[in-house]
A = this chain, B = another copy of it.
Amino acid sequence: MTKQKKRNVIVGQSGGPTAAINSSLAGVFRTAKDRGYSKVYGMLHGVQGLLEGRYIDLSDHIRTGLDAELLKRTPSAYLGSCRYKLPGINEDRDVYDKIFKILDDLEIDCFIYIGGNDSMDTIKKLSDYAIVIGSEIRFVGCPKTIDNDLALTDHTPGYGSAAKYIGTSVKEIIRDGWSLETSNGQIIIVEIMGRNAGWLTGAAALSKGEDCDGPDAIYLPELDFDVKAFVKKCKELLKKKSSVVIAVSEGIHTKDGTYISEMGNATDYVDAFGHKQLTGTARYLCDLLSNEIGCKTRAIELSTLQRAASHCSSRVDILEAYEVGGAAMKAADEGDSGKMVVIERLSDDPYQAGTEVKDVHKIANDERLVPREWITKDGTYVTSEFITYVRPLIQGDVAPVMVDGIPRHLYVPGYQELL
């Protein structure tokens, strides 16, 4: 790099929010400032908002060290998110020209995008286009997803906090289930996010310990779901205990590819990427069990809280998200483009990890699933290897800043109107 003068940075957030995505934003901002960039812009609602000319100067929002600490503790995408998919370069060059015009007008040197698979597709295309037109803007991706399904990285920021919330909540649900006796027993089905990857659902096993048996079965979307075998397993479990708790992924499906959620009252909603919106897996299975066994059932969806529960976030996760944001900024500053920062694990125990930079072409649109050998042979639980992998990622807390008994988030006057 022989640039004489550092100009500006722009950063965006994309895809589903997490409890850690704003910590990465704080990390990008801090490192950009530390490395002498003039302005750090935040695009509102990602590339989609940028195309509409919507962005803010982050210095108006992160004004003090306390603001940065609040931002780390603020759930949801501070800048707003989007699920916008860039067209192929050959399909529509106008969109690209428009984006680069905006970036040039803002005198952008570095473009950081915090997101998952689809967001890395954006980094890939924009960095490719920069080569095509000879632009010197560097495009670097910063990984983020509760789903933990990005390729080439040991794990993704956001996953650890979601896993901690899931392990904690499932443990409380299990304990609650012990309190009341029911004549025919009860089965509680907890539905957890993760369309194709079972990383989150497997985290339900974190509730298992010296004081809790953990869920009685865990069904990941990596394997086909056998409805008959499931009912049989539930019957057997009810013979042994009066309160059974089962964790299922929203994405479990039968051998022919039919989602369980489609078997009941599924909605036909699809997002911009053509993903089917799944709801009601637990509800369907509860109806099924009531019908087949006649036991009491309860369907619990952890819903958006599993990605938004900053009050229960993991310290390891929040700090790593911050570091990864800084590392993405560093990489762009030092001339990398078309890259994503990844986390490399050096050791499980004691847990040690560092960051590296990898080619985004090898990452985008690729999904990392739970390995078959980390799921038990009968497909109804995760193995101890899975727990060894996830346990370090949920360690420690980030105490919320409590004001009037409720966690405080970052908010500057007029902020919501911007979104």
Contacts and interface: CB of A to CB of B under 8 A. Distances in A.
Interface of A: 13, 16-17, 45, 48, 74-77, 80-83, 164, 167-169, 171-173, 175-181, 188, 206-207, 209-213, 263-265, 267, 269, 271-273, 275, 277, 284, 287-288, 290-291, 296, 298, 300-301, 303-305, 307-312, 314, 391, 394-397, 402-411, 416, 419
The CB with the most chain B CB atoms within 10 A, among A172, A288, A314, is that of A172
Contacts of A173: 303-305, 308
B287 A405 contact: no
B272 A284 contact: yes
Looking at chain A's contact residues, the main secondary structure is: mixed
A80 B275 contact: no
Contact of A311 (B168, B264, B269, B271): B168
Contacts of A269: 296
Given A209-B404, A300-B305, 12 more contacts: A17-B179, A17-B180, A45-B181, A80-B181, A82-B180, A168-B311, A169-B305, A172-B304, A176-B308, A300-B303, A301-B301, A311-B312
Contacts of A314: 405
B406 A209 contact: yes
**3 closest A-B pairs by CB:** A211-B411, A394-B405, A176-B308
B169 A76 contact: no
B74 A407 contact: no
A340 B307 CA distance: 42
17 contacts: A16-B179, A17-B179, A48-B181, A80-B179, A81-B179, A167-B406, A168-B407, A169-B305, A171-B406, A172-B311, A176-B308, A211-B409, A264-B271, A273-B291, A275-B290, A301-B301, A391-B404
A206 B405 contact: yes
A213 to B, nearest CB: 7
Contacts of A76: 172, 175-179
Given A308-B175, A405-B167, A411-B212, A287 B300 contact: no
A45 B17 CA distance: 42
A176 B75 contact: yes
B77 A179 contact: yes
